[in-house]
């Protein structure tokens, strides 16, 4: 698991030390097509630069391919629980859809 500094490094501008400045929840869900499962993260309250930093970090941590497309992070594989915990540690409200 990543350290506190790794998490705070990627949280960017929306973190003011005590409160998160956004109120819209982050949505994490999976979609299966054939044999492949893709995990999607939408409604991210970060700038594009911060999202790309998170993408790079998460691809290494999850050991999978991923991309940023249509304002969503896309990862190959089933990673809902890890992404839920990751954004919860950053202090965001997160919703997992089935």
At 41 the three-state DSSP class reads strand
pLDDT at 98: 84
Per-residue pLDDT 10s for the chain (98 aa) are 555 555 555 555 455 554 545 468 999 999 998 999 999 999 998 899 999 999 999 999 999 999 999 999 999 999 999 999 999 998 899 999 98
At 75 the three-state DSSP class reads strand
pLDDT at 18: 47
Could you give the dihedral angle defined by the CA atoms of residues 8, 94, 29 and 61, in that order, rounded to the nearest 10 degrees?
20
* Best CA proximity match to 30, nearest among 79, 64, 93, 95: 79
d(CA 95, CA 84): 8
Beta strands per DSSP E along 43-98: 66-69, 72-76, 94-97
Delineate the domains of the chain, giving CATH numbers in brackets.
Answer: 26-33+45-98 (3.30.780.10)
């Amino acid at each position: 698991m990543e350290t506190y500094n790794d998490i705070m490094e990627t949280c960017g501008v929306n973190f003011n030390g005590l409160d998160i400045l956004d109120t819209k929840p982050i949505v994490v869900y999976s979609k299966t097509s054939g044999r492949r499962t893709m995990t999607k993260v939408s409604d991210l309250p970060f700038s594009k630069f911060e999202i790309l930093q998170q993408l790079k970090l998460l691809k290494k941590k999850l050991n999978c391919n991923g991309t940023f497309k249509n304002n969503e992070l896309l990862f190959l594989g089933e990673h809902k629980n890890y992404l839920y915990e990751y954004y919860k540690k950053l202090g965001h409200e997160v919703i997992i859809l089935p």
